[in-house]
Structure 1
Amino acid sequence: MSGTPLNATPPLTPAGDNPPDRREIRAVILGLMIVLGLGAIDQSIVATALPRIVSDLGGLTHLSWVVSAYVLASTSTMPLYGKLSDQYGRKPMIYAAILIFLLGSVLSGMAQTLMQLIIFRAIQGIGAGGLMPLAQIIIGDIVPPAKRGRNQGSIAAVFAICSVIGPIAGGIITDLLSWHWIFYVNLPIGAVALVMIGRALKRPHQSHSRRIDYLGAALLTACTTSFLLVLALGGNEWAWNSPEIFSLSALALVLCVLFVFHIRREAEPVLPPDLFHNRLFVVACIVLALTFMGMLGASLFFPLFFQMVMGVSPSHSGLLTGPLMVGVVISSMLNGRVLLHRFGRYKPAQLFGLGLATIAFAVLAWAAATSQGFWIIEPAVFALGLGLGLVMPTMTIAVQNALPFAHRGVGTATLAFFRSLGGLIGVTGSGAILAYRVQNAGGLLDGVHMSSLTEAGLKQLATASPEVHAAAIALYRHAIAMTFATGTVIVALALAALLFLPELPLATDHGGAATSRK
């Protein structure tokens, strides 16, 4: 099962008879680095500015939807970008993704209410859904798996470096100007990305007539949205046993059944069922979904923890979040340039990485719950980054190595879909945990209801009485510690799933899928 090739169509090779030379590969990789930097900087800047956004616009219980709307839109469009790039080419689709992303950035910067910001972030997410998958697909087109570790390591390093710069820039921009400007910074970066891609990506695309499964994409989006609304609103806006939650749950189930029935009958489904006959692909989707569920769900609250619990400024909270991505940079470079490139093995490093991430999450949960200082929290954040950097980049290489060229576009995009879906569930679930703890915090303290206090955010918290201030800090501390503990369990489950991942030899050319080691 692990070595089952997907032979629905004959294996294809990249466009052009001659393989790209090193100069062309470097030019393309440089352009893709700018594209990935665009998405990385945006996500980290927004995370740092979330407390200030909530302070200005209100609505702490809907905080996670500023991120969730973005991730939901990007997640839902990822498989469609893979299909469209197979038909119309990589270059037109990555152009479209960048332009939609920039439009959403401008609109988000102009938002005056939290609802406007959530809607505009969804538009931004539609564009972001093509950035990472298309970059990985293009790399898979031009670089054989055995040589891809160095390139993927460099891509991951640039992505991580931008994620380090983002919190710092976000804190500075938020302090000196306003949170509205964190979205406008995407415009010059996006312009550079468009120019670089236009110059670097020149290979002609071999056109293949494919039917685009718009109905499947619509069913997938509706099913995912319904499920996440249950997770976000249950126990918060509506009780878990309310008619609204029952109705949404039933709708999600019906849409899921319809989607499965549809893709089994559709000639070119948005998620081909044949992909799930490959054991490596299935295990990889499960591992990445669980990894991102734990990581993104907990790390969303790092800036909130540092600012509201530890009492630091937005710019300093960005610096304190930095060790996470510094760890990712170091381990990604080591993994891609040394371990994977020299030994051709990806599973041992992934096992060690997830084990380290599990331990780091457990330490963070304990440190948050027991009021430990930075001398424990910061090394744990760094260790978490080290562990995650050994897992994420090489999993894409493993999947692309296991699939024939004709299916690598949709396979890569589908892997990205499940990875982001896991992150989306983590973000929404963590937001639900925090909202539940806030709304059940014990009623009135000195005449101020805790949910009213946290709705107003940092401004009212700073002017509250010492008793109310201390109660609010304790509330945040224990709620965020709970998200870290949940992340520990989820990443441990990812480690258990990783044990079932087959180890395939990395191909040295662009031929068909690799077969399993016996």
Structure 2
Amino acid sequence: MSSLGKKAIKQTKKPYVLGAVMLAMFMGAIEATIVSTAMPAIVGDLGGFSLYSWVFSAYLLMNAVTVLIYGKLSDLFGRKPIITVGIIIFLIGSILCGFSQSMTQLIVFRFIQGFGAGAVLPMATTIVGDIYSKEERAKIQGYLSSVWGISAISGPLIGGILVEYVSWRFVFWINIPLGILAIAGLWLFLHEDIEKKKPVIDYGGAALLVLTVSTLMFVLVEGGVRLPWDSWQTIFLIGLSVTGLAVFVYHEMRTPQPMMPFDLWKVRSILVANVVSLTTGIMLIGISSFLPAFVQGVMERSATVAGFTLTAMSIGWPISATIAGRLLIKAGYFITSLIGGIALVAGAAVFVFMQPSYGPLWAASGSFLIGVGMGLSSTAFIVSIQSTVEWKVRGIATATNMFMRNLGTTIGAALLGGILNSRLQDYLQKTNSDSDLSIDGVNALLSESERAAMSPELIQTLQDGLTSSLHTVYLVVLLFAVFSLIGIIFIPKDKGLKK
């Protein structure tokens, strides 16, 4: 590291910076848990079940696209100003989300929220990579992952209480004090001495990425529902997405300062980490987005109970991440990631065999195993990447890995949401050929008061349709878990971080 880097580390108060970073991460973590828990209540209030997945897709699309830009800017201007801008935009989006009067408004405001969120997690992780040594990072990543455990316990509890006794709108407004405190801590205790450079931002790459991902996402969500698969509109959008991807790769390979530095991908450990992060991102959103709807709509449990089935995932994640910090030092990246991959397959299998009569504990056990797999694999990937690259590209290297996971969750929200809508629509049409019952009929299923006014036959039809559709979703999740395990096998074998 340069003398400037050493000077910055000497001036920085590590424990306080770590606290501020963990607070910023907690803001993002509790946001994810609370929104997933509150979604059935939001849909019950605003309607629009067919737009369910767009609430996640809108947020994730902007998150995925901006994370690379933030990573590049942080290598030019330092981490502190970039994460600050991100938090401020995130808070503006959160305030607006709480004032939403329709699902369309909520989706638009989630775009704004996602635009800011792209800076929070990658910058927080990169700051830790900057101020701690390679050996320290393995342990500190475990501390960072403990944030998910804390938010997992408090998030669903707070979210459930707010939804049941106050209003779902407060699940967005709770971010405001957290963001303000995180900004204050970073500006008081993190001191960077960065050599300012003229910013060279790859706007062309960003535009091509937005075009590619957004068109693909639209087809995946609406294909087979509002757009027939064989329609000219669907074919056109698929062609546009494929062309956009090809032009994006061509552009990035030739631009001097690419948004996606493909040179880093020549390192096999980075290549595998990024590809597997994509597949695990698809898995992650498949569980966290739709499990609350199953627990509340089919199992007929409260929002709090639905939230705690996701809590199990977030408890398994920090526990395994803490273990991963020690395991990385003794056994290395390959063994740590391999154990994580096996846990992912086991967790996905639990969901494939899940039946409504099995109850919330069965769902929670699957969530816990998914969390264990994510904690082990993601910790190994981040430490491996940050230990492989130099400071001047650490921001973009970390952001690239975050981007691949975010891209996975973006594609996953659209793909799995499209599968859910398509399968549910087919089921309802086959079982109610003489009825005008539609996908949005599930709105009533997710509202306890409206469900009580429905006939037992109608409730059973909707619940059977939702169960059947989610079974298909979880089969796809299992498929991606197997892909993840196969990818992990190609990680270069090592003997741990101890010298």
User: Are 1:430 and 2:433 an aligned pair?
Assistant: no
Residue 4 of structure 1 aligns with which residue?
Answer: none
User: Are 1:167 and 2:156 an aligned pair?
Assistant: yes
Paired residue type of 1:472: L
Q: 1:261 aligns with which of 250, 271, 278?
A: 250
- Cα deviations across residues 375-406 of structure 1 (Å, max 9, x unaligned)? 53333332222222111122111111122332
Q: Is the 8 A contact 1:98 1:131 kept in 2?
A: yes
Q: Is the 8 A contact 2:305 2:360 kept in 1?
A: no
The alpha-carbon distance between structure 1 residues 242 and 156, as it changes in their structure 2 partners (threshold 3 A), is same
The alpha-carbon distance between structure 1 residues 207 and 501, as it changes in their structure 2 partners (threshold 3 A), is same
Q: Is the 8 A contact 1:14 1:141 kept in 2?
A: no
Q: Give the whole-Å Cα distance in 1 for the aligned partners of 2:112 and 2:142.
A: 30
By how many angstroms is 1:504 displaced? Answer: 5.3
Residue 441 of structure 1 aligns with which residue?
Answer: 427
Q: Give the whole-Å Cα distance in 2 for the aligned partners of 1:127 and 1:278.
A: 30
By how many angstroms is 1:302 displaced? Answer: 1.4
Q: 2:336 aligns with which of 320, 336, 349?
A: 349
Q: Is the 8 A contact 1:87 1:208 kept in 2?
A: yes
Q: 2:16 aligns with which of 17, 27, 41?
A: 27
- Cα deviations across residues 173-228 of structure 1 (Å, max 9, x unaligned)? 01111111111111111111111111121132232334111121111122111111
Paired residue type of 1:418: M
Query: Aligned with 1:240: secondary structure?
Result: coil
- Within-5 A mapping of 1:386-401: 386-401=372-387
The alpha-carbon distance between structure 1 residues 15 and 71, as it changes in their structure 2 partners (threshold 3 A), is farther
Q: 1:367 aligns with which of 338, 354, 357?
A: 354
Q: 2:328 aligns with which of 318, 329, 340?
A: 340
Query: Aligned with 1:301: secondary structure?
Result: helix
Q: Is the 8 A contact 1:39 1:131 kept in 2?
A: yes
- Within-5 A mapping of 1:28-47: 28-47=17-36
By how many angstroms is 1:260 displaced? Answer: 1.8
Paired residue type of 2:83: I
Q: 2:446 aligns with which of 458, 461, 483?
A: 458
Residue 489 of structure 2 aligns with which residue?
Answer: 499
Residue 462 of structure 2 aligns with which residue?
Answer: 472
Paired residue type of 2:86: A
Q: Is the 8 A contact 1:105 1:124 kept in 2?
A: yes
Q: Give the whole-Å Cα distance in 1 for the aligned partners of 2:357 and 2:158.
A: 28
Paired residue type of 1:130: A
Residue 184 of structure 1 aligns with which residue?
Answer: 173
The alpha-carbon distance between structure 1 residues 258 and 450, as it changes in their structure 2 partners (threshold 3 A), is closer
Paired residue type of 2:474: F
Q: Give the whole-Å Cα distance in 2 for the aligned partners of 1:184 and 1:374.
A: 28
Paired residue type of 1:231: L
Q: Give the whole-Å Cα distance in 2 for the aligned partners of 1:452 and 1:141.
A: 48
Residue 481 of structure 1 aligns with which residue?
Answer: 471
- Within-5 A mapping of 1:211-226: 211-226=200-215
The alpha-carbon distance between structure 1 residues 273 and 43, as it changes in their structure 2 partners (threshold 3 A), is same
By how many angstroms is 1:429 displaced? Answer: 1.3
- Within-5 A mapping of 1:134-149: 134-149=123-138
Q: Is the 8 A contact 1:446 1:468 kept in 2?
A: no
Q: 1:330 aligns with which of 293, 314, 319?
A: 319
By how many angstroms is 1:254 displaced? Answer: 2.1
Paired residue type of 2:284: M
- Cα deviations across residues 136-183 of structure 1 (Å, max 9, x unaligned)? 111111112222111111001113321332122111101111111111
Paired residue type of 1:270: M
- Cα deviations across residues 307-326 of structure 1 (Å, max 9, x unaligned)? 11111111222123211111
- Within-5 A mapping of 1:83-232: 83-232=72-221
Q: Give the whole-Å Cα distance in 2 for the aligned partners of 1:389 and 1:20.
A: 28
Moved more, 350-359 or 29-38: 350-359
Residue 396 of structure 2 aligns with which residue?
Answer: 410
Q: Is the 8 A contact 2:148 2:315 kept in 1?
A: no
Residue 237 of structure 2 aligns with which residue?
Answer: 248
Q: Give the whole-Å Cα distance in 2 for the aligned partners of 1:447 and 1:230.
A: 27
- Cα deviations across residues 392-451 of structure 1 (Å, max 9, x unaligned)? 122111111122332211111111111110111111111111111221124338956143
Residue 312 of structure 1 aligns with which residue?
Answer: 301
The alpha-carbon distance between structure 1 residues 374 and 100, as it changes in their structure 2 partners (threshold 3 A), is closer
Residue 515 of structure 1 aligns with which residue?
Answer: none
Q: Moved runs in structure 1, 4+ residues, more than 4 A?
A: 445-448, 504-509
Q: Give the whole-Å Cα distance in 2 for the aligned partners of 1:362 and 1:272.
A: 36
Q: Give the whole-Å Cα distance in 1 for the aligned partners of 2:353 and 2:3.
A: 50
Paired residue type of 1:486: V
Q: Give the whole-Å Cα distance in 2 for the aligned partners of 1:470 and 1:438.
A: 14
The alpha-carbon distance between structure 1 residues 317 and 165, as it changes in their structure 2 partners (threshold 3 A), is same
By how many angstroms is 1:372 displaced? Answer: 2.2
Q: Give the whole-Å Cα distance in 2 for the aligned partners of 1:408 and 1:143.
A: 13
The alpha-carbon distance between structure 1 residues 222 and 109, as it changes in their structure 2 partners (threshold 3 A), is same
Q: Give the whole-Å Cα distance in 1 for the aligned partners of 2:129 and 2:4.
A: 12
Q: Give the whole-Å Cα distance in 2 for the aligned partners of 1:466 and 1:268.
A: 61
Q: Give the whole-Å Cα distance in 2 for the aligned partners of 1:491 and 1:243.
A: 33
Query: Aligned with 1:391: secondary structure?
Result: helix
Q: Is the 8 A contact 1:288 1:422 kept in 2?
A: yes
Query: Aligned with 1:20: secondary structure?
Result: helix
Task: Note the residue ranges of structure 1 that are not aligned, 5 or more in a row.
Answer: 1-11, 510-518
Query: Aligned with 1:239: secondary structure?
Result: coil
Q: Give the whole-Å Cα distance in 2 for the aligned partners of 1:347 and 1:13.
A: 31
Residue 345 of structure 2 aligns with which residue?
Answer: 358
Q: Give the whole-Å Cα distance in 1 for the aligned partners of 2:4 and 2:445.
A: 54
By how many angstroms is 1:14 displaced? Answer: 7.4
Question: Which protein has the bigger helix share?
Answer: 2
Q: Count the aligned residue pairs.
A: 495
Paired residue type of 2:200: R
The alpha-carbon distance between structure 1 residues 145 and 469, as it changes in their structure 2 partners (threshold 3 A), is same
Q: Is the 8 A contact 1:298 1:426 kept in 2?
A: no
Q: Give the whole-Å Cα distance in 2 for the aligned partners of 1:344 and 1:20.
A: 29
Residue 279 of structure 2 aligns with which residue?
Answer: 290
Residue 512 of structure 1 aligns with which residue?
Answer: none
Q: Give the whole-Å Cα distance in 2 for the aligned partners of 1:374 and 1:38.
A: 26
By how many angstroms is 1:306 displaced? Answer: 0.9
